[in-house]
C-alpha cells in the first residue's frame, strides 16, 4: 500500500489551480504558468525526443551504436538499492562522521578507496578503528585505509550514466569511474552539465558517418556527441538569431582538432548539405595541417597554432562563407627542434613527394640533408606516407584555387627556408666576425629567393646603424659574430615561413565559429611559447567560468526559478599578473627586451623584483620562475625569452627581401614593413601583441553563445583501450570539469524537461491525468510518489532537482515502485 503525504508542492499547485480556476471555465485543465515577458531560450527538442531512432529504417547497426551511447534506459531497469544514503549532506563529510560510517557498513554501500599504487578501488567498509577503516574489495581481499581517503561510490545502477550530473556523488573517483566505464564501451562522449567531455578513443569508433549526422539532425537520439553540441548551437542560432561558438579545449593530442573537424562536418551537412562546402572545408584543413601541424613527442599530428574558424550562415541557415583566424604559430619550430620531434609536415612531404622536375627546380635533397630537419633525428612518422600526403596537398592547393605560379612560389619559399638552414658561417677576423660560406646552401637559398648570393651574405652578416644625426659619420656597418649571424639567418627563415602561412590562410579564407583552444602545458621545462599558450588558456578559462555561470543563472531566471546563488573562483588575479601595466609580466618583459644591456638573467631578476609579492608568481632557482595557473603551477625557463619576445627582422633582411625578384619575397617584405610602420606594433613584444589579439578574440566570443567541449587524452601512448586514471584526473581538473560540477551542484544540477519526465514516468500514474500537458503530468508523478518538496523546484519548462542524488533517488524510487506495481498486476 502506498500512502501519500501532502507536500508543499501540492499546496503550491493548489494555489496555482485556484488562481487558474478563478479565471478559466471549470471544465478546462489547469493552465501552465505563463512565461515571463523576456525572450525565452527555446529548449532544444533534442533533449525531449524519444530514443526511437532507426536511421532510414535500415541502419540497425547505427541504432545499436546510438543506443550503446546511452545507458539510461537499460541500466535503470536493474534492481535498485532503495535504501539510499543519499539524503546525507555534503559528500566529503559523508564518511567522516562515525554515524555515517555505520550507515555505510550496515547498508553494505560501496565506497572508493585509494590504494597504494594510486589506483582507485571500490569496496564495502567492514569495520573501522580510530582513523582507519577496513575495506573489503571482494575475493576476501580486505585493505586497511585511512578513513579520510574514503569516498562514497555511486550505486551500480548509475554506472555509465551519460551526464555526470546524474551521479549521486560527484567526487573524483566517481567521475573517473563513470568516464572509464563509458570509455570501455566506446562511449567516448559524456556530459558534465553544460559541457561535453570527449575522451580520445585513438581508434575509429564509427560514430561519425552520414547515418549519425542524420540521426542528430532528425533529433532521433540524445546521446552526448559532438554532433549534438553542434546541432544545439545551430538550432539556437536559427531560433534566437544569436551567434554561437564552440570552444574546444584539452591538452596536446587530446582530440581538439579532430573534434573541431567533426563539428564542422556536421555544420556543413546541416548548413548546406552540399558536397562542395564539405569538400572545401576538408581541403582547408588539409592545407592548414600540412603547414601548421607537426609531430611532437605527444602527438604525431599536433597543431602548432590556435585557431578561430568562423562559419557564416545565411538567414535560412545555409553556409555562406568561412573565415579562419590563427594565433601563435610556433615559428621557432622551423629552425629549432626538440629530440624526437619534427618540423612542420610540409617540409617532409615536399622532400619525399616532389617529382623529379620539381626537385631540380628547387635543388631539392632528401630531408636528412637539411639541418633544420635532421637536427632532431626524427624524419618519419609511423604509418604516415609523406609522399602520398604531398600529392593530397597539391590537390588541396588546386582546389582552393591557388594558381600554378603561386604554388610554384610557395614551394620555392619552402625550399629556400630549408636551404637557409644549411648556410654556415666562417670567422673572418680576430674579432670573431663572420661571413657565410660560399657554397651550395647560400647559392641555392639566394636563387630560390631571387637575389644575389652576395646580397644575402651581406644581409645575414652585417647590420647598418645610422650614426648620430649631429655627427658627420653617416652610417656605420656593424659586422656580426657567429651567434648574431646564425640568429639573423634563423629569423629570416622563421619570418618567411610565418608569412607564407599567413598568405595561405588569406587565400583559403573564403570559407566556418569553431575556436580550437590551445593545448595547455605543464611540462618540467617550459619556454616562452608555452607561457603565451598558457596565458591564452587562462583568458579562455575566464570566458568559460563567466559563461557557464551566466548561462546557469539565466536559465533559472527564464524558467521562473529564483533564489539560486552560484559562486565561482575568478582567475582575474592571474590574468593581472600577465596584463597589468606597468608591472605585469608582459610589460616588464617588453621593457627589458628594449634595454640594450638586458639578457635572460637580468629579465628574471627584474621579474622577481617586481612580482615576488604576487601570490600567482614564484621566483625559482637561476633563470626560472613559476606561475600559479588555474590548472596548476607551471615552471618557466627564461632562456631565449627576450629574443623570442622581440621577434624582429633587421632592416637589412627586409630590404633584401624587397629587392628579390620573386613576387613572394616582395609581398612578405611589404608586410613586414607595414608591421614596423604600424604606430602600435613596432615597440610591442610578442606577449603584448598576443594580449591585444586575445582581447579581440574574447570580444568576438563575448558576442556569441558558447558551447564548451573538453577533450581528454586517456593515455600518453596514443593507443586505444588504455585509461590512465591519473592522467585523466589531471586533465579533468585542468578543463574545469570539477568546477562545472561544483557550480552546478550549488544550483540545480539535475534538470529534466517536463516533457521528457512525463514521457518517461507518466505511465506510472495510478490515475489517468486528464490534462495531457507535461507540467501537470510531472507534478502528478511527484505528488503520487510523495517526493519531498525541498528536493526540487518546478520551472515553466523543466523540473529542477537540488543535487544529482535527488533525481536518482526519485527516479530510482519511481522505477522500484513501477516494478512493484507490475508485479502486482501480474499476480
Ligand atoms: N574522435 C576521435 N576518434 C578517433 N580518433 C581520434 C579522435 N579524436 C582524436 N583522435 C586521434 O587522436 C589524435 C590526436 O588528435 P588531435 O590531433 O585532434 O589532438 P589535438 O588536441 O588537436 O592535439 P594538439 O593540441 O597536439 O594539436 C588524432 O590524430 C587521432 O588519431
Per-residue pLDDT tens digits for 367-414:
999 999 999 999 999 999 999 999 999 999 988 888 999 999 999 999
Does 58 score more than 70 pLDDT? no
* Closest C-alpha to ligand 1, atom 5: 202
pLDDT score for 377: 95
The predicted complex's ipTM stands at 0.99
The length of the chain is 827
CB neighbourhood size of 587 (10 A): 19
Cα-atom radius of gyration of the chain, to the nearest Å? 31
pLDDT score for 468: 59
* Closest C-alpha to ligand 1, atom 25: 252
Give the lowest-confidence range in 359-368, 543-552, 704-713: 543-552
pLDDT score for 55: 29
The answer to whether the CB of 252 is under 6 A from ligand 1 is yes
E strands, 180-330, in order: 189-192, 195-199, 244-249, 293-294, 302-303, 306-313, 319-327
Query: From ligand 1's centre to the CA of 326, what distance in Å?
Result: 19
Query: From ligand 1's centre to the CA of 378, what distance in Å?
Result: 20
Q: Mutation test of ligand 1: which of 266, 299, 329 has the most ligand atoms closer than 8 Å to its C-beta?
A: 299
Query: From ligand 1's centre to the CA of 257, what distance in Å?
Result: 6
Q: Which ligand 1 atom is the nearest neighbour of the CA of 711?
A: 21
Residue labelled with grid coordinates 632562456:
639
The answer to whether the CB of 253 is under 6 A from ligand 1 is yes
Q: Which three cell numbers stand for residue 114?
A: 585509494
The answer to whether the CB of 301 is under 6 A from ligand 1 is yes
Task: For residue 255, say whether it is annotated as part of any ligand binding site.
Answer: yes
Q: In which band, very low, low, confident or very high, does the pLDDT at 667 lie, cut at 50, 70 and 90?
A: confident
Q: Which three cell numbers stand for residue 586?
A: 608582459
Q: What is the pLDDT of residues 767-817, one digit of tens each?
A: 776 667 888 888 888 888 777 777 788 899 988 876 544 444 444 444 433
State the distance between the two ends of the chain, measured CA to CA, in whole angstroms.
15
Query: From ligand 1's centre to the CA of 739, what distance in Å?
Result: 25
DSSP state of 681: S
The answer to whether the CB of 224 is under 6 A from ligand 1 is no
Q: Which ligand 1 atom is the nearest neighbour of the CA of 198?
A: 1
Q: In which band, very low, low, confident or very high, does the pLDDT at 508 lie, cut at 50, 70 and 90?
A: confident
DSSP 699-744: HHHHTSEEEEEEEE---TT--TT---HHHHHHHHHHTTHHHHHHHH
The answer to whether the CB of 250 is under 6 A from ligand 1 is yes
The answer to whether the CB of 302 is under 6 A from ligand 1 is yes
Q: In which band, very low, low, confident or very high, does the pLDDT at 226 lie, cut at 50, 70 and 90?
A: very high
Q: In terms of C-beta density within 10 A (0-12 exposed, 13-18 middle, 19 or more buried), how is residue 125 classed?
A: buried
CB neighbourhood size of 316 (10 A): 8
33-36 CB contacts, 8 Å cutoff, 24+ apart:
33/560, 33/775, 33/796, 35/796, 36/557, 36/558, 36/560, 36/796
Task: For residue 256, say whether it is annotated as part of any ligand binding site.
Answer: yes
Q: Specify the higher pLDDT residue, 167 or 181.
A: 181
The answer to whether the CB of 731 is under 6 A from ligand 1 is no
User: 236, 705 in Cβ contact below 8 A?
Assistant: yes
The answer to whether the CB of 128 is under 6 A from ligand 1 is no
Query: From ligand 1's centre to the CA of 199, what distance in Å?
Result: 10
Q: How, if at all, do strands 142-146 and 302-303 pair? A: unpaired
Query: From ligand 1's centre to the CA of 66, what distance in Å?
Result: 22
CA–CA gap between residue 67 and residue 203 (Å, rounded): 20
Instruction: Report the pLDDT averaged over residues 728-748.
Output: 77
Q: In which band, very low, low, confident or very high, does the pLDDT at 275 lie, cut at 50, 70 and 90?
A: low
Q: Average per-residue pLDDT in the chain? A: 77
Q: Which ligand 1 atom is the nearest neighbour of the CA of 516?
A: 22
Going along the chain from its start, the domains and CATH numbers come out as 8-78+746-826 (3.30.70.1590), 91-154 (2.30.30.140), 425-503+650-656 (1.20.120.720), 528-647+690-700 (1.20.58.530)
Q: Specify the higher pLDDT residue, 52 or 62.
A: 62
CB neighbours of 62 closer than 8 A, spacing ≥ 6? 53, 55, 209, 211, 212, 215
* Closest C-alpha to ligand 1, atom 30: 202
The answer to whether the CB of 521 is under 6 A from ligand 1 is no
Does 12 score more than 70 pLDDT? no
Query: From ligand 1's centre to the CA of 709, what distance in Å?
Result: 14
The answer to whether the CB of 258 is under 6 A from ligand 1 is yes
Query: From ligand 1's centre to the CA of 226, what distance in Å?
Result: 14
E strands, 140-188, in order: 142-146, 150-152
Q: Which ligand 1 atom is the nearest neighbour of the CA of 301?
A: 17
CB neighbourhood size of 387 (10 A): 14
CA–CA gap between residue 65 and residue 74 (Å, rounded): 14
Q: Mutation test of ligand 1: which of 249, 257, 302 has the most ligand atoms closer than 8 Å to its C-beta?
A: 257
The answer to whether the CB of 201 is under 6 A from ligand 1 is yes
CA–CA gap between residue 434 and residue 130 (Å, rounded): 76
pLDDT score for 679: 53
DSSP 84-142: --TTSS-HHHHTTSHHHHHHHHHTT-EEEEE-TTS-EEEEEEEEEETTEEEEE-STT-E
pLDDT score for 676: 61
Q: Which ligand 1 atom is the nearest neighbour of the CA of 260?
A: 18
Q: What is the pLDDT of residues 102-112, one digit of tens each?
A: 677 777 788 89
Highest mean pLDDT pick, 127-136, 245-254, 338-347, 703-712: 338-347
Amino acid at each position: 500500500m502506498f500512502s501519500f503525504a501532502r507536500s508543499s508542492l501540492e499546496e503550491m499547485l493548489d494555489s496555482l489551480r485556484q488562481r487558474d480556476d478563478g479565471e478559466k471555465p471549470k471544465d478546462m485543465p489547469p493552465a501552465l504558468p505563463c512565461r515571463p515577458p523576456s525572450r525565452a531560450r527555446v529548449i532544444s527538442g533534442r533533449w525531449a525526443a524519444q530514443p526511437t531512432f532507426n536511421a532510414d529504417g535500415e541502419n540497425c547497426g547505427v541504432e545499436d551504436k546510438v543506443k550503446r551511447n546511452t545507458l539510461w534506459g537499460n541500466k535503470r531497469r536493474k534492481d535498485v538499492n532503495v535504501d539510499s544514503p543519499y539524503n546525507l549532506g555534503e559528500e566529503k563529510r559523508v564518511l567522516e562522521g562515525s554515524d555515517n560510517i555505520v550507515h555505510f557498513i550496515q547498508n553494505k554501500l560501496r565506497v572508493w578507496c585509494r590504494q597504494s599504487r594510486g589506483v582507485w578501488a571500490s569496496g564495502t567498509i567492514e569495520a573501522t578503528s580510530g582513523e582507519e577503516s577496513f575495506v573489503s574489495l571482494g575475493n576476501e581481499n580486505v585493505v586497511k585505509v585511512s578513513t579520510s581517503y574514503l569516498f562514497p561510490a555511486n550505486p551500480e545502477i548509475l554506472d555509465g550514466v551519460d551526464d555526470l550530473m546524474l551521479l549521486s556523488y560527484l567526487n573524483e573517483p566517481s567521475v573517473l569511474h563513470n568516464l572509464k566505464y563509458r570509455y570501455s564501451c566506446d562511449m567516448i562522449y559524456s556530459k558534465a552539465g553544460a559541457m561535453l567531455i570527449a575522451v580520445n578513443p585513438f581508434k575509429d569508433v564509427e560514430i561519425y558517418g552520414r547515418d549519425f549526422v542524420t540521426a542528430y539532425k532528425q533529433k532521433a537520439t540524445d546521446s552526448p556527441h559532438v554532433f549534438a553540441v553542434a546541432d544545439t548551437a545551430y538550432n539556437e542560432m536559427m531560433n534566437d538569431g544569436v551567434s554561437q561558438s564552440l570552444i574546444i579545449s584539452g591538452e596536446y593530442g587530446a582530440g581538439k582538432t579532430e573534434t573541431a573537424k567533426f563539428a564542422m562536418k556536421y555544420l556543413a551537412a546541416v548548413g548546406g548539405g552540399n558536397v562542395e562546402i564539405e569538400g572545401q572545408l576538408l581541403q582547408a584543413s588539409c592545407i592548414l595541417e600540412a603547414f601548421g601541424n607537426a609531430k611532437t613527442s605527444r602527438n604525431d599530428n599536433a597543431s602548432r597554432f590556435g585557431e578561430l574558424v568562423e562559419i557564416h550562415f545565411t538567414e535560412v541557415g545555409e553556409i555562406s562563407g568561412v573565415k579562419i583566424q590563427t594565433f601563435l604559430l610556433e615559428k621557432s619550430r622551423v629552425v629549432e627542434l626538440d629530440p624526437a620531434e619534427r618540423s612542420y609536415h610540409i617540409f617532409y612531404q615536399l622532400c619525399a613527394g616532389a617529382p623529379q622536375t620539381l626537385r631540380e627546380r628547387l635543388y631539392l635533397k632528401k630531408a636528412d640533408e637539411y639541418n633544420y630537419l635532421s637536427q632532431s633525428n626524427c624524419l618519419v612518422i609511423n604509418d604516415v606516407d609523406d609522399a602520398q600526403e604531398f600529392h593530397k596537398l597539391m590537390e588541396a592547393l588546386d582546389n582552393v584555387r591557388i594558381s600554378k605560379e603561386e604554388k610554384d612560389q610557395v614551394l620555392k619559399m619552402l625550399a629556400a627556408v630549408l636551404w637557409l638552414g644549411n648556410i654556415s658561417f666562417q670567422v673572418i677576423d680576430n674579432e670573431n666576425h663572420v661571413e657565410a660560406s660560399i657554397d651550395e646552401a647560400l647559392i641555392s637559398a639566394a636563387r630560390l629567393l631571387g637575389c644575389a648570393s652576395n646580397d644575402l651574405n651581406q644581409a645575414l652578416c652585417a647590420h647598418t646603424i645610422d650614426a648620430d644625426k649631429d655627427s658627420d659619420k653617416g652610417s656605420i656597418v656593424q659586422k656580426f659574430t657567429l651567434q648574431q649571424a646564425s640568429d639573423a639567418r634563423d629569423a629570416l627563415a622563421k619570418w618567411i615561413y610565418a608569412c607564407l602561412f599567413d598568405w595561405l590562410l588569406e587565400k583559403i579564407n573564403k570559407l566556418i565559429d569553431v575556436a580550437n583552444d590551445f593545448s595547455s602545458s605543464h611540462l618540467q621545462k617550459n619556454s616562452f611559447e608555452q607561457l603565451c599558450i598558457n596565458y591564452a588558456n587562462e583568458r579562455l578559462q575566464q570566458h568559460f567560468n563567466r559563461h557557464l555561470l551566466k548561462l546557469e543563472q539565466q536559465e533559472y531566471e527564464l524558467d521562473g526559478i529564483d533564489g539560486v546563488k552560484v559562486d565561482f573562483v575568478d582567475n582575474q588575479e592571474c590574468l593581472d599578473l600577465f596584463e597589468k601595466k606597468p608591472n605585469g609580466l608582459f610589460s616588464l618583459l617588453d621593457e627589458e627586451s628594449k634595454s640594450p644591456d638586458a639578457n635572460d638573467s637580468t629579465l628574471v631578476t627584474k621579474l622577481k623584483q617586481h612580482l615576488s609579492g604576487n601570490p600567482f608568481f614564484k621566483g625559482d632557482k637561476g633563470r626560472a620562475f613559476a606561475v600559479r595557473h588555474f590548472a596548476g603551477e607551471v615552471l618557466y625557463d627564461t632562456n631565449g625569452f627576450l629574443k623570442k619576445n622581440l621577434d624582429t627582422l633587421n632592416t637589412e633582411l627586409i630590404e633584401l627581401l624587397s629587392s628579390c625578384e620573386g613576387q613572394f619575397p616582395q609581398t612578405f617584405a611589404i608586410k613586414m614593413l607595414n608591421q614596423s610602420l604600424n604606430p602600435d606594433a613596432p615597440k610591442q613584444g610578442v606577449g603584448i601583441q598576443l594580449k591585444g589579439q586575445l582581447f579581440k578574440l574574447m570580444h568576438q566570443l563575448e558576442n556569441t553563445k558558447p558551447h564548451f567541449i573538453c577533450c581528454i587524452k586517456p593515455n600518453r601512448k596514443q593507443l586505444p583501450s588504455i585509461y590512465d586514471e591519473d592522467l585523466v584526473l589531471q586533465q579533468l581538473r585542468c578543463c574545469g570539469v570539477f568546477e562545472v560540477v561544483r557550480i552546478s551542484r550549488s544550483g540545480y544540477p539535475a534538470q529534466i524537461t517536463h516533457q521528457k519526465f512525463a514521457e518517461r514516468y507518466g505511465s506510472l500514474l495510478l490515475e489517468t491525468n486528464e490534462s495531457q500537458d507535461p507540467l501537470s503530468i510531472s507534478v502528478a508523478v511527484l505528488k503520487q510518489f510523495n517526493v519531498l518538496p525541498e528536493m526540487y523546484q518546478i520551472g515553466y519548462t523543466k523540473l529542477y532537482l537540488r543535487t544529482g542524488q535527488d533525481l536518482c533517488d526519485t527516479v530510482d524510487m519511481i522505477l522500484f515502485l513501477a516494478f512493484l506495481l507490475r508485479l502486482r498486476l501480474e499476480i
